[in-house]
Amino acid sequence: MSENENITPQPSIPAENEISLLDLLIVIAKHKKLILGLTFVSALLALGYAVRLPNIYTATAKILPPQSSQSSSVNSVMMAQLGGLAGGALGGLKDPNALYIAMMRSRTIGEKVAQRFELQKVYEKKTMTETLKALQEVTMIASGKDGIIAIDVDDTDPERAATIANSFVEELNKLMRTLALTEAGQRRQFFEAQMKSEKDKLTDAEITLDRTPNTSLRYMQAVRNLKFQEGIYEVLAKQFAVAKLDEAKDSLLIQVLDKAIPPEKKSKPKRSSIVLLATILALFIGVLWAFLKEAAERAKNKPEQGERMRALKQVSKFW
């Protein structure tokens, strides 16, 4: 007989700790009442919670910030004037859209919006600071890659959600009119002040000429002085008109692409998702509980398993 024929095949011995799929199914079937009961109760509780949640409506306004070549100079002026408007958050902003977003998130605009709609009463807050925090939580302002800024506002009232979103745009325009003192605006203010001063001098020259006899040398001097003052006033008036035209040209207002309208459908809560997630979570916990319960029962019958369970409990104390 050959050497290979003398080798007797040994029967395979299953590993002590090997768990088959059938064993898992047996444990689940054994504790099915626990698993199904926990899952069913959790699903009912989640359903009751989801049904009691109020409907939230999201209104969206979309705007296009100024895109002219002069917007950079205007932004630099506004950045200087907005020093403490948003608690220093404006420092170092390079993206023009980030500046407008920071302005809409500022306390200045937030307070105007809150006061306009009496949000302190709506949100049931004791202080304006708490009201502004609540307003920020329901407001999302972001800029897309296309340069369009979207203002999303959540509210239980679809009408109020739309009006609040639109009010952010309106208050931004008002703030820009106040802060955007361009170079042309400064020139207009300068020439306007100079015109008032020269107008007084022109009036004095007219009075002097009227009171001077037209046959005297002083009369000729009065005439020359009047013409001189008229020439200065005319030059200032022309410069003032040019500055006003430049200022109107430089008036960079926000363009509203989509005005917020009251949404017809709620945006949240996703009640079906809440119930589904709670059911899946409860099912997982139920199965885990079943295996832990099964392990505890086996530990009573096997001393080795009991030692392992005690070691597991000991280690879990440090977690």
- d(Cα 106, Cα 112) in Å, to the nearest integer? 10
CA atoms within 13 A on the CB side of 283: 7
At residue 272, the pLDDT reads 86
Strand partners, 150: 62, 142
Q: What is the Cα gyration radius of the chain?
A: 39
Terminal-residue alpha carbon distance, the chain: 63
Residues shown for the chain: 319
Residue indicated by tokens 């020139």: 187
Percentage of the residues of the chain whose pLDDT score is greater than 70: 73
pTM for the structure as a whole: 0.58
Choose from 61-70, 153-162, 307-316 the range with maximum mean pLDDT: 153-162
Rounded CA-CA distance 148/139 in Å is 16
272-292 pLDDT, tens digit each: 888 899 899 988 998 888 888
Ramachandran assignment for 93, one of left (phi > 0), alpha (psi -120 to 50 degrees), beta (any other): beta
User: Can you tell me the distance from the alpha carbon of 24 to that of 146, in angstroms, rounded to the nearest whole number?
Assistant: 54
Give 314's pLDDT tier (boundaries 50, 70, 90).
low
DSSP per position, 211-264: HS-TTSHHHHHHHHHHHHHHHHHHHHHHHHHHHHHHHHHT--PPEEEE-----S
For the segment(s) 57-181+254-258, the CATH number from 3.30.1890.10, 1.10.645.10, 3.60.10.10, 1.20.58.220 is: 3.30.1890.10
pLDDT confidence tier of residue 99, bands split at 50, 70 and 90: confident
User: Pick the residue with more confidence: 225 or 68?
Assistant: 225
Q: Which amino acid belongs to residue 89? A: A
**What 3 state SS string does 26-47 have?**
HHHHHCHHHHHHHHHHHHHHHH
Lowest mean pLDDT among 44-53, 242-251, 299-308: 299-308
The pLDDT value given to residue 137: 95
Q: Which amino acid is at 21?
A: L
d(CA 100, CA 245): 25
Q: Which of 103-112, 195-204, 294-303 has the lowest mean pLDDT?
A: 294-303
